[in-house]
Every structure is written in structure tokens, then in C-alpha cells.
């Protein structure tokens, strides 16, 4: 898979902290992201009320997935994803995108779909190409 690193706010001269979160990354993926099933691994996050975010807990349960609509709608109490890997799964059961939060410092989006890269570049200011990886 090919990857992009998103750092809006953490670039030299930026605000010093990320200016966006998971919801904005998912929004950039549009209807395809909303129609996908999502799973999560290696999740570490902070909620606004220090309680679990149920949709994230379900997505992080081995063998479980949540719909893209359910994922976005369930993020209201989310303050910040510190670390986590979110995998979008299409109707055929194939992973088409991997979205990673890395140490509250940046996000990565991995996909072999060129439109995903175009959508990310269109939505965010500070986007860098990453070396090719298995994603």
C-alpha cells in the first residue's frame, strides 16, 4: 500500500498540535468510507468525559466491525485518538484503506486507491508521501 502522512498543525511554524481528528479523516473518505465496515487495533484514546466511547470499543474488539456511519456518528464524546489503526473493509471483505494515528503527532492513510490520496491531499494542508509499505 502507498501511504500519506498528515500533520496539519504540527508542521514547523504550525500551532504545535494536530488541528483535526479521526472524524475529519473519515469525512475525507466520503461515501465509500461511510459504506465500509471498520475495525480497529492498538487503540489508545481520550474521551471528553473520561468514559469509554462505545463505538470505538466495539471496533477494537477482535472479530467485530462497525459501519462507517456508525463510527462517525459515535465519535461525539471522542476528544483525541492517541494511537490506533483503523481498517476500512469493502463489501467484498477486502481492506481498502488503513488510517493510523501515531502518538498524537500525525495521521497516516494507507491505500492503493489513487482517489484516496487525492481526497486526503484536497482536505488537508500538510501531506507528505510515505515510503511504500505493506500498510
Residue 105 near residue 80, CB atoms below 8 Å: no
Burial per residue of 15-41, b for 16 or more beta-carbon CB atoms within 10 angstroms, e otherwise: eeebbbbbeebbebbeebbbebbbbbe
| Structure confidence at residue 12 as a pLDDT band (50, 70, 90) | confident
Average pLDDT of the residues of the chain: 94
Per-residue pLDDT of 15-33, as tens digits, reads 888 899 999 999 999 999 9
Q: Is the pLDDT of residue 51 over 60?
A: yes
Q: Is the pLDDT of residue 56 over 60?
A: yes
Instruction: Note the pLDDT of residue 15.
Output: 84
Per-residue pLDDT of 66-105, as tens digits, reads 999 999 999 999 999 999 999 999 999 999 999 999 999 9
Q: Is the pTM of this model over 0.75?
A: yes
d(CA 116, CA 123): 11
Amino acid at each position: 500500500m502507498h501511504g500519506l502522512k498528515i500533520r496539519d498543525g504540527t508542521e514547523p511554524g504550525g500551532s504545535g498540535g494536530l488541528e483535526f481528528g479521526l472524524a475529519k479523516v473519515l469525512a475525507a473518505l466520503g461515501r465509500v468510507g461511510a459504506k465500509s465496515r471498520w475495525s480497529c487495533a492498538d487503540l489508545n484514546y481520550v474521551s471528553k468525559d473520561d468514559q469509554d466511547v462505545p463505538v470505538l470499543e466495539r471496533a477494537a474488539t477482535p472479530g467485530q466491525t462497525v459501519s462507517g456511519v456508525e463510527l462517525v456518528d459515535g465519535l461525539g464524546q471522542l476528544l483525541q485518538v492517541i494511537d490506533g489503526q483503523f481498517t476500512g473493509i469493502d463489501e467484498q471483505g477486502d481492506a481498502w484503506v488503513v488510517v493510523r494515528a501515531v502518538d498524537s503527532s500525525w495521521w497516516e492513510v494507507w491505500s492503493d486507491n489513487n482517489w484516496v490520496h487525492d481526497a486526503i491531499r484536497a482536505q488537508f494542508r500538510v501531506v507528505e508521501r510515505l515510503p511504500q509499505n505493506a500498510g
